[in-house]
Structure formats: C-alpha cells, structure tokens
C-alpha cells in the first residue's frame, strides 16, 4: 500500500492494491493450480457405460430385494431410453422425475441422459402450487411418476405424464434389449440436470448443470475418494438434493454398488446400514445434521462400516467431527463445499485423524479444474486473512438459471482472471477468507440466504410469499438459534388493517406456497417493522419471540388423557414452546429430525417405548405419538399414576371421574405446588370394569399401599371419584388406618343426584345424548353438527360411527380411536354409571371436607336451605368442613377456577402438617 501511494499519490484510495505482485500471483495462480486431465468429450452416462464394459456382472444397485448387475441396469436404461426417444425426448429435452427411491428411479435418470435429455427432480413434499410454478417455468417435455402419486401432483399442467406403473409396467422393466438406437448426439456442454433452489425474489430458480461439469467432478471423485476400496455408497437423500450426485453416480462410474434406502427409512436406515458387519461402504455423503444424528443413533461400541464420510451442505464445526475422530479414527472425514450452481463440490478439506480441529472446519482447497477467488465489492483480490466474497470459476460453473437471464447475469459474471478472457465466475454470496496456508475458511453470508440442516433457504422468498397474503401488510423473516438444534425461522408480521390474522391461517397459507422446511416455526405480530435512521430494517430492535404476543391459534386442542399430556410436556421442553396441544404437528412447532431424536430418547426414558423417527412424518402429532405409546402400554399400565413428585409431606391421592381418565387432575397438581406429591387413580380400558364401587375401592387401596403402605392418608375425588374416595376411606378406617383428609370436590352423597334409568344418556334409547356427553367432556362452545333425524335412522353401530366421525372432525376425539375401542370405553363408562347407582354408602367414622363450586348444581337448590352439606353430613360421624370455591361443576377442576380449589386444599394440607 505504501509503495503504491508513493508511486502514485493521486490514485483513489479504493483503487490502491492490497497485495504485492508476489502475493497476487500466489492467490490467483499458485493456489489455483488445479489443472488436471479429464474426459472432457464424455457425458455422464458415457462414464457409466464405460464401467459396464469393465464390470458387466458386478452388482450395480441394491434396493430392498432388488439386485441389478451393471449389464442389467444398463440394458433396462437402454430400453427405457428408446421408449423416451419414441415419445419425442431428444437433446436438451427436460424431463421431470417425481419418483420414490427405487431401481426404477435410477433406471429413469440414466434413460433420460441416454436419450439426450436432462432430468428435473421434483420433491412431493413441496406444496402443489410450488410444484406447479416449477413445472410452469421449466416446461418439461414429460413427467415421470407413479400412479399412486397422481392426486398429489398439481392439476392443469400441460406436461405429458408417463406413469411408470401404468403405461410402462413391471414386465417392461425386465426387458433386455439391444443398445439404444437412433439416440441423438449429446454434447458435454448439453444439460445433464436442473435442480431448483430457493430464490430471493419469491420464486425458486433452476440451476442448470452441464455434462462437462458433472464429468469433471466425478472424475476428480474417483481419484480423491476411496470409491475403489469399499462396496459403494448408500443413497438416503432425495435426488433433488445435489449431494445425492456423489453417492449415486460415484459408485456407478467406479464399479461400486449403489444401496438405495427406501423412502421411509431415512437417517435411521442409514444408521442401520452403517452398522451391518457384512458391508464396508466406500463413502457416505451426508450433511453435518446427519452426522450429528448418526452420532446418537449408532452405538459408541459399533464399528462404522464405511471408508469415508463426505460432509457438505452447511458449515461444519469442530465439535461435529471431534467425536468421530475418537470413535472411528479409521474413517476419513472430508468437508466438501460447493453450491448447486457449480456441481455439488468445488473445494474440500480433510480432517486428519489425530489433528486438533478448529472451531470452524475450513472448506479447504479447490478440486481439479476449479479456481477460487476471494474478492471485495470491486472484484479486487484480497490478502490472506481478509474477509470477502467467494467466487468460483472453472469447469464446474453451471450454465445459469433456467429462463431467468437477469438473475443469471447478476450471479454468473465475466472472469477477469481467465487466460482466454471467455470464462465466467459464479458469485456465491458466501463470505470467506484465505488462511496463510492457502486453505479457505467459510464465514457466513453476505445476504439473507441461510442454511438450515443442509437446506438452502432465501429468507427473501419467504418474505415475498408472506407479503402476497391478504392478511399481511409487511413481513420480515430471520434465523434464530446458535446451535444446529436450536436453529429456527422466525417470522415477524405486520397485519393488514382489520385482518383477522391467526397462526392457523398463516400456516395454511404457507403450506400451499412453500415446502415444509421453509415454513417459519415461530410467528409473531408487530405493529410496524423497526427501522434505522437510514430507513433500513433494524434487526436489533426486533422483539424476542414471545408466545403471549403470537397470533391466536384457533385450533388448539388440550391434551385429553395423561399420556397425551406427558408427551405434550416433553415436546414443550425439547421444542422450547410454551404450549403444545393434542393435535399440534411436530414440524409446525419447529421440530426437525435432530429434535425428533431428542424427543424419542425422552419418550424411551419415560415410557420405555422406542419411537422411530418415521412416526413424526407419518402422523407428527401428539395424539398420534400418544396413541402408539398407549397401545404399547396396554399390557403394563397401572391404575396408580404419579402426577407430581414433591419434596415434603405425605402424598395426596385423587380418584378418576366417571370417564376414567385423570388428565383433569394435572392442573390441580401443578397449583398445589412443587413440594406436594400427587397421585391419581385411572381406570384401565383393558380391564373388565368393576361392577361395584366397593371392589373398585379395594383394588385402588391395594395399588396405593405399594407406594404408601400405611397412613395417615390424604384422599380426594371429583364427581364420580368422590364415591370411590369415600369408600376407600371407609375401608381404610375399618382396617385401622388413619385418614387425615377426605376431600369431596363438588358432588352430593351417593344417590342424591342419580337420574332415572330411562334418562341415562348411555342407555342407547337416545343416541343424540351420546353426542351431548362428548360435548360436555370437551367443554365445546358449540354443539357437534349432528343430523338428529339421520342419526335415529341408523343402527346402533352406525350411530356410534357417525358420532365418532363428527367428534374427530371437531378434534375432541383422537383420530386413531377405532369403533371397537370406543364401544369398549362406552361399555366401561356404563359399568361405572351402574356401579354408582347401586352404591349404598356406610357411615364414615371421620370428617368429610366438602369443596362446593360457586355455581350451584341442580340439586343444590333443594338442599341449600335444609342441608348445605349435600347429604354428606348424614353419613359421616363428624361435622362436615365446608369450603366454597370458584367455578361450576365442569370448570372447578380446570384453569383458572382450579387455582382457587388448589388454594383451599393447600390450606387444609398445611393445617394437617402443622398438627
């Protein structure tokens, strides 16, 4: 700098050279000396065909029970390519491929390439509108898919669709014809594939990759990775995720075998594959998120059956690889960096087994025939250590973005360092710097693009979609969370005037526009976006996400049984959200695979049930997970459940109401305080229900004595539970035990409020009454939409089925409940009703504590003047202790009224402890 200033004092400061000629020569030339021969006249499928000639009988592909040799795979691809040619596919024809991972998928990709076309992978997890937008812009000549996905594809597309299980059926996949005839000539500069990525303008953009770039990358892979040492690679990721190029084509051009995991196996299937002792894979291609999950899924004692792990997709940190250096020192750990626009990988850094890793693992040096530059805004070369934008040049640079010339011109710029002057550089938007040894470190982004568990996301695309909503005036989306597990997208929305913006409405809108991984897990409304004095968004002033300020969720369904509640509490803690309902979806709450693993571990710790990650994709709700746990627990459940473990004083035991569940006592337990131990007795649906209150009480006493062999006891119950608690107290007294508290919560003595048998809603004489029971239990504000005339025309089972359907639509009944289960529950419910009617209580030799709700019961008016104890005074030897509490019979046990009930009980318990 000083030399330049002295030599030319009038030169503008921004034009002063940062580097000496020697340093500039080092960066531009020496560190980019990557020239290496490769078959520049070949195409991707030519490399595969050459390998077929070398190893025709070797196994090329495994998927489930399917095994194909190189010759078989090639012949089937040839046959299908001939069919595609007859359908009009030729050079540069774009063919959309929407297929599950299968042998047919690999055959289809090779056939498209052999026919001269380029494939466009589609992901069915994307919403139909997004798929439709991609198809509309890309205008592929043909779409290859399967008939079972017919309904999931967007309607109205003009693309010709070929169903591979229809027009091209199973027997044709096994044909063994001659080589492709009349195949159009394919040039290395022709397209091989187009992969769509997130776009900052609100629209995804298709990166066009040529055969030349892919061939250069795969040729380099054969020399740099141990593809010839192991048995091949596992393909566990979608073909629209460009890291799949390495694990799919790498083995096929080097004589290895491709092991395809089926769609439902995921990272758990990958973990199982890596633990199989009969296989040693050449490489596994994965993201840092995958690596972290494998660390938890694979036992530390297991030997990892792969020669190398090639890690890419997002920043790699030292702690990601440290444990693998220790547990698998024989496995090569390679950090591979590269945007989709420049063919998968353009530079690598190998972590040595015994080396000390830095907090951020470098992305390394360029691969063969690739050049990397770190430049400032004026495209001036920066010295080592200075941060700038990373530019990529060489054979891997793609053609640009499909039908987006303006965006292409912005990101693909002339290469000022090109020897022939005709080269182009790809502006990555990534910040980086050179180390003194020539290795490159990744430092983040210059724009709003983020990486979330390997997915590249333009925050601007999400913002553009939100701003197009009729509900939203303005929007900003940011990424929060330091660690990979904590990463989440947070959307701040300014609602339009008079719009009724709810989380449900926003989520439903986003589901129709964006793939699931791009939908913010946290949504918050603000009055206006905070701005700096220059009118730019002031990100520092955005408020922290707060559930209390979030838009209203209109479909919240409270947990309806104890297992749902316990699962919901695990989700709340792991997902760091304040409230989780029975029907809330794991992914919509910000869940992802790594958090799913933590939840699975917690569920195993709590219930002893191994929950596979696939459950989150199949159902993904609390009620679905809880139903699996309850089905598993049917053989091991106990009547007695610990609701809260306290630190002092005797426990209190509550008995279930007529429905048999105990979730109603959870909030009461919480408000009794953390020091109070609380148990509750639940009815087990698998049991033949007790026909008498006396036998039920005796059974519950037996269970209670397992945790507290002798008194003094604290007992309580609400509604029907008061009868059983009363009978338990009587039996315990006769056995010589001491009862310090018998808490009767808002119920009259047995027989006081019994209805006539013909009025029993469970009698079946009036099926509409069954619906009213469900409404009452669920505290519905509106009645279920029951067509009473239609209902009365049905048979008994049909009536119940109809009511179930309406209850499931209203989300007050778990979706997994079957007619048999509901009939069994109804039978048990009726048995408890009959037991309550037939119960004749003895005189209790002790004191009853009655807690009456302020909003009186129908029978309260009759007894208010003559017997305020609701009849309990007549069957107890001591005066009844009476307390008035907030709420009605239905709400006294729920928030907020339960706070008052808990306060009165705490007073009673404290008085007992003082005594």
HEC sequence for 812-856 = CCCCCCCHHHHHHHHHHHHHHHHHHHHCCCCCECCCCEEEEECCC
Q: Are 586 and 623 in contact (CB under 8 A)?
A: no
- Residue 347: how many other CB atoms lie within 10 Å: 24
Three-class secondary structure of residue 861 per DSSP: helix
Q: What whole-number distance in Å separates Cα of residue 394 and Cα of residue 423? A: 8
- What is the reported pLDDT for 903? 93
Cross-strand bridge partners of residue 414: 424
Q: Are 310 and 338 in contact (CB under 8 A)?
A: no
Q: What whole-number distance in Å separates Cα of residue 908 and Cα of residue 854? A: 19
- What is the reported pLDDT for 758? 38
SS (H, E, C) 582-626: CCCECCCCCCCHHHHHHHHHHHHHHHCCCCCCHHHHHCCEHHHHH
Preceding omega of 712 cis (within 30 degrees of 0): yes
- What is the reported pLDDT for 553? 58
The one-character DSSP state at 123 is: -
- What is the reported pLDDT for 736? 94
Q: Are 344 and 217 in contact (CB under 8 A)?
A: yes
Closest to 200 (Cα-Cα) out of 406, 372, 8, 356? 406
Strands 388-394, 713-718: pairing kind: unpaired
Q: What whole-number distance in Å separates Cα of residue 627 and Cα of residue 817? A: 8
Strands 522-525, 455-458: pairing kind: unpaired
Q: What whole-number distance in Å separates Cα of residue 633 and Cα of residue 309? A: 39
Strands 522-525, 118-121: pairing kind: unpaired
Q: What whole-number distance in Å separates Cα of residue 576 and Cα of residue 555? A: 20
- What is the reported pLDDT for 274? 92
Q: Find the angle CA(619)-CA(622)-CA(626) to the nearest 5 degrees.
A: 95
Structure tokens at 216: 């250069």
**Residue corresponding to tokens 């080592």:** 384
* Phi and psi torsions of 38, nearest 5°: -150, 160
Please report, for residues 3, 463, 674, 698, 728, the alpha-carbon distance to residue 650 in angstroms, rounded to integers and kept in the order given.
85, 56, 13, 21, 17
Q: How far is C-alpha 763 from the geometric centre of its chain's CA atoms?
A: 44
Q: What whole-number distance in Å separates Cα of residue 203 and Cα of residue 631? A: 45
Closest to 434 (Cα-Cα) out of 384, 474, 399, 396? 384
Strand order through the sheet with 332-337: 284-286, 308-311, 332-337, 347-351, 365-366
Q: Find the angle CA(468)-CA(131)-CA(208) to the nearest 5 degrees.
A: 105
Strands 488-495, 472-480: pairing kind: antiparallel
Please report, for residues 36, 146, 168, 488, 703, the alpha-carbon distance to residue 164 in angstroms, rounded to integers and kept in the order given.
41, 6, 5, 38, 60
- What is the reported pLDDT for 201? 61
Strand order through the sheet with 472-480: 472-480, 488-495, 522-525
Three-class secondary structure of residue 205 per DSSP: strand
Q: What whole-number distance in Å separates Cα of residue 324 and Cα of residue 331? A: 8
E strands, 837-899, where? 849-853, 881-885
Q: Are 395 and 212 in contact (CB under 8 A)?
A: yes
Q: How far is C-alpha 8 from the geometric centre of its chain's CA atoms?
A: 60
- What is the reported pLDDT for 718? 93
Closest to 660 (Cα-Cα) out of 636, 629, 637, 628? 637
Preceding omega of 491 cis (within 30 degrees of 0): no
Q: What whole-number distance in Å separates Cα of residue 247 and Cα of residue 235? A: 6
Structure tokens at 754: 């019994």
Q: What whole-number distance in Å separates Cα of residue 253 and Cα of residue 284? A: 16
Three-class secondary structure of residue 734 per DSSP: helix
Low-confidence residues in the chain, pLDDT < 50: 634-636, 755-759, 761
Strand order through the sheet with 66-69: 66-69, 59-63, 257-260, 232-235
Closest to 814 (Cα-Cα) out of 581, 580, 598? 581
Q: What whole-number distance in Å separates Cα of residue 117 and Cα of residue 339? A: 23
Q: Are 308 and 283 in contact (CB under 8 A)?
A: yes
Q: What whole-number distance in Å separates Cα of residue 192 and Cα of residue 44? A: 8
């Amino acid at each position: 700098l000083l030399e330049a200033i002295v030599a030319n004092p009038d030169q503008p400061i921004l034009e002063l050279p940062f580097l000496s000629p020697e340093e500039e020569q080092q960066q531009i030339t020496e560190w980019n000396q990557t020239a290496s021969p490769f078959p520049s006249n070949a195409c991707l499928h030519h490399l595969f065909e050459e390998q077929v000639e070398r190893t025709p009988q070797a196994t090329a592909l495994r998927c489930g029970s399917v095994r194909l040799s190189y010759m078989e795979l090639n012949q089937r691809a040839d046959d299908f390519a001939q069919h595609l040619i007859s359908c009009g596919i030729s050079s540069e024809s774009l063919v959309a491929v929407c297929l599950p991972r299968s042998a047919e998928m690999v055959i289809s990709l090779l056939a498209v390439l052999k026919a001269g076309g380029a494939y466009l992978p589609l992901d069915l997890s994307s919403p139909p509108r997004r798929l439709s937008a991609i198809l509309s812009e890309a205008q592929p000549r043909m779409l290859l898919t399967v008939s079972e996905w017919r309904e999931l594809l967007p309607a109205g597309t003009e693309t010709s669709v070929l169903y591979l299980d229809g027009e091209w059926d199973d027997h044709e996949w096994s044909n063994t014809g001659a080589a492709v005839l009349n195949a159009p000539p394919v040039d290395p500069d022709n397209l091989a594939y187009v992969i769509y990525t997130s776009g900052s303008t609100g629209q995804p953009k298709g990166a066009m990759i040529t055969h030349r770039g892919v061939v250069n990358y795969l040729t380099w892979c054969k020399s740099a990775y141990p593809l010839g040492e192991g048995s091949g690679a596992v393909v566990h990721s979608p073909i629209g995720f460009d890291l799949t190029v390495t694990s799919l084509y790498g083995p096929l051009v080097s004589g290895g075998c491709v092991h395809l995991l089926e769609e439902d196996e995921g990272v758990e299937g990958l973990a199982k594959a890596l633990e199989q002792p009969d296989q040693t894979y050449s490489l596994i291609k994965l993201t840092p998120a995958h690596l972290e999950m494998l660390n938890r899924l694979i036992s530390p004692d297991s030997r990892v059956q792969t020669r190398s792990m090639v890690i890419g997709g997002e920043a790699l940190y030292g702690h990601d690889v440290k444990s693998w250096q220790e547990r698998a020192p024989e496995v090569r750990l390679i950090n591979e960096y590269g945007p989709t626009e420049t063919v998968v990988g353009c530079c690598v850094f190998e972590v040595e087994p015994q080396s000390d890793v830095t907090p951020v693992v470098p992305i390394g040096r360029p691969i063969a025939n690739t050049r990397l530059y770190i430049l400032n805004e004026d495209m001036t070369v920066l010295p080592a250590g200075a941060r700038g934008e990373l530019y990529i040049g060489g054979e891997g640079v793609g053609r640009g973005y499909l039908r987006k010339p303006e965006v292409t011109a912005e990101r693909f710029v002339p290469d000022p360092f090109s020897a022939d002057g005709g080269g182009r550089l790809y502006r990555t938007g990534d910040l980086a710097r050179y180390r003194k040894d020539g290795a490159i470190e990744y430092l983040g982004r210059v724009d709003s693009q983020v990486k979330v568990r390997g997915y590249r996301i333009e925050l601007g695309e999400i913002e553009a979609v939100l701003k197009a909503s009729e509900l939203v005036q303005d929007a900003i989306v940011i990424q929060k969370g330091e660690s990979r597990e904590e990463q989440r997208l947070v959307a701040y929305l300014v609602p339009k005037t008079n719009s009724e913006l709810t989380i449900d409405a926003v989520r439903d809108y986003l589901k129709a526009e964006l793939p699931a991984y791009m939908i913010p897990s946290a949504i918050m409304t603000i009055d206006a976006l905070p701005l700096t004095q220059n009118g730019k968004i002031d990100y520092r002033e955005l408020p922290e996400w707060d559930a209390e300020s979030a838009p209203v969720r209109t479909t919240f369904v409270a947990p309806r049984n104890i297992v749902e509640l316990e699962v919901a509490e695990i989700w709340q803690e792991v997902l760091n959200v304040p409230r989780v309902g029975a029907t809330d979806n794991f992914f919509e709450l910000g869940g992802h695979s790594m958090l799913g693993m933590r939840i699975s571990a917690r569920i195993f710790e709590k219930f002893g049930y191994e929950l596979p990650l696939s459950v989150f994709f199949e159902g993904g709700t609390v009620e679905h997970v809880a139903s699996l746990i309850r089905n598993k627990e049917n053989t091991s459940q106990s009547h007695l459940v610990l609701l809260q473990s306290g630190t002092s004083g005797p426990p209190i035991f509550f008995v279930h109401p007529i429905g048999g569940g105990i979730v109603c006592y959870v909030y009461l337990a919480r408000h009794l305080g953390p020091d109070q131990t609380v148990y509750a007795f639940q009815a087990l649906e698998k049991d033949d229900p007790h026909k008498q209150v006396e036998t039920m009480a005796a059974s519950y006493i037996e269970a209670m004595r397992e945790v507290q062999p002798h008194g003094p006891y604290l007992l309580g119950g609400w509604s029907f539970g008061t009868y059983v608690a009363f009978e338990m107290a009587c039996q315990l007294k006769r056995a010589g035990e001491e009862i310090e508290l018998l808490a009767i919560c808002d119920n009259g003595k047995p027989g006081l409020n019994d209805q006539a048998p013909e009025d029993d809603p469970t009698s079946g004489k009036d099926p509409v009454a069954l619906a009213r029971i469900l409404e009452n239990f669920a505290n519905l504000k509106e009645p279920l939409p029951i067509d009473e005339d239609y209902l009365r025309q049905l048979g008994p089972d049909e009536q119940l089925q109809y009511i179930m359907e309406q209850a499931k639509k209203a989300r007050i009944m778990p979706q997994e409940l079957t007619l048999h289960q509901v009939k069994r529950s109804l039978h048990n419910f009726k048995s408890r009703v009959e037991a309550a009617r037939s119960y004749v209580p003895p005189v209790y030799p002790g004191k009853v504590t009655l807690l009456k709700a302020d909003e009186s019961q129908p029978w309260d008016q009759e007894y208010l003047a003559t017997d305020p104890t609701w009849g309990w005074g007549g069957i107890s030897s001591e005066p009844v202790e009476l307390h008035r509490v907030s709420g009605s019979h239905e709400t006294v046990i729920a928030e907020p009224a339960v706070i008052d009930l808990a306060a009165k009980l705490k007073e009673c318990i404290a008085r007992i402890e003082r005594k």
